[in-house]
Amino acid sequence: MSMDDATLSRIIEMAWEDRTPFEAIERRFGLAEKQVVSLMRRQLKRKTFTNWRARVSGRRTKHQALRPAGISRGYCRSQYKPAGANK
């Protein structure tokens, strides 16, 4: 699968986000969890990949089925602030 740099960057960003489940990446980009892991392995340095993998393995918020009932959003409300909000 060929993708532009912006798409690749967004997938990596979503994979790092604690509250974004792999299912959201699959819905948006068509990549299953195994494909995301493979992409991260190719794109990240070895130590960075190891740290990421340890971070997401078994994390409840990264797997839709493990999330507590009632959490439907994929990100923290304060994560995406409008431009200029820091002024």
- Tens-binned pLDDT, residue by residue, of the chain (87 aa): 578 999 999 999 999 988 888 988 999 999 999 999 999 999 999 999 999 999 888 777 676 665 556 655 555 555 555 555 554
Is position 85 within any domain? no
Q: Is residue 49 part of a domain?
A: yes
pLDDT of 19 reads 81
Q: Please report the DSSP string for the chain in residue order.
A: ----HHHHHHHHHHHH-TT--HHHHHHHH---HHHHHHHHHHHS-HHHHHHHHHHHTT-GGGSGGGSPTT---SS-TTTSPPTTTT-
- Domain count for the chain, please give it: 1
Q: What is the pTM of this model?
A: 0.70
Q: Identify whether 13 is part of a domain.
A: yes
Specify if 54 maps to a domain: yes
